[in-house]
């Protein structure tokens, strides 16, 4: 059974703190949290104090956007009604998806000089010893 989704800050027993859209799901005899695009939040500070926040993906090399967390790995969870934080998360998801779907250009010889290791080594040694 899946409940309604909500935004929340989750403190894991590893010490990590993540923010994301959460759905509580009862799987057989176990309750798990499904977290959509979890992020870590860092404060950006200046000499006068906190200016804003920086959002980064929780898992930087993962291609998934939905993660399953067991309740035994969670210290606490706090539902967020902070509109500013929710909007920042939604903007992050939008920009992250655009970046993720962007295709890299094909490499061509016009983009720069292509050589093998031996030729590059000889060229660099020639430049260095000249």
What residue ranges define each of the domains in the chain, with the CATH number in brackets?
A: 6-102 (2.30.30.100)
Q: How many CB atoms lie within 10 A of CB 51?
A: 9
For tokens 């404060």, what's the residue?
Answer: 43
What is residue 1's predicted lDDT score, i.e. its pLDDT? 47
Task: Please give the pLDDT value at position 47.
Answer: 82
Mean pLDDT of 116-121: 84
Taking the C-alpha atoms of residue 36 and residue 125, their distance in angstroms, rounded to an integer, is 51
pTM: 0.69
Asked whether the predicted pLDDT for residue 115 surpasses 80, the reply is: no
Residue 79 has pLDDT above 70, yes or no: yes
């Amino acid at each position: 059974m899946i409940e309604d989704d909500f935004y929340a800050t989750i403190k894991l027993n590893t010490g990590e703190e993540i923010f994301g859209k959460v759905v509580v799901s009862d799987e057989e005899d176990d309750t798990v949290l499904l977290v959509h695009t979890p992020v870590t939040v860092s404060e950006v500070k200046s000499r006068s104090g906190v200016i804003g926040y920086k959002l980064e993906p929780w898992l930087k090399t993962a291609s998934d956007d939905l993660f399953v967390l067991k309740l035994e790995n969670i210290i606490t969870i706090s539902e967020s009604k902070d509109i500013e934080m929710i909007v920042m998360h939604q903007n992050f998801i939008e920009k992250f998806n655009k970046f993720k779907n962007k295709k890299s250009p094909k490499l061509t010889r016009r983009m720069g000089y292509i050589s093998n290791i031996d030729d590059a080594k000889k060229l660099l040694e020639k430049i260095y010893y000249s």
